[in-house]
Amino acid sequence: MSPISFTITIIILSSLLPSGHGFFKKHKGELEVRLGILAPLLIDLERNNAITALEREEVQSKSTRQEKNYTLMSILDRRGTKAQDRFYEALKAHDPPLVEDIEQSAM
């Protein structure tokens, strides 16, 4: 295989893998409703500089789960691709059944 063919193959294969940004954008509304376990996610996101301590506190200050989820999704939307990628990785680590269910239902 030539170097060019190899590079093209890698590009094609990597485009087939879900990105955190793509997952976030595609399923944001569903995540607002279905996210359940926030504490470990928020800690992970803060440790990886996807959100700040102030943003974590803002999410935690909301009274209902749906308000917390909406606030987190809004923050991640503002923070951009890098934060959304980190969110996807954290979600896969802390709630893999949710990620699998959302990805399978989208097929």
Q: Nearest to residue 64, comparing CAs of 38, 96, 29?
A: 38
Q: What is the pLDDT of residue 4?
A: 64
Average pLDDT for runs of 10 along the chain of length 107? 56 55 92 93 97 98 96 97 96 94 84
Is the sign of the CA dihedral 99, 104, 105, 107 positive or negative?
positive
CB–CB of 59/52 below 8 Å?
Answer: no
pLDDT tens, position by position, 66-82: 999 999 999 999 999 99
Q: What is the pLDDT of residue 2?
A: 62
Q: What is the pLDDT of residue 5?
A: 58
Predicted TM-score (pTM) of this structure: 0.80
d(CA 11, CA 21): 17
Residues in CB range of 52: below 8 A, 6 or more apart: 46
Question: What proportion of the chain, given as a percentage, has pLDDT over 70?
Answer: 82
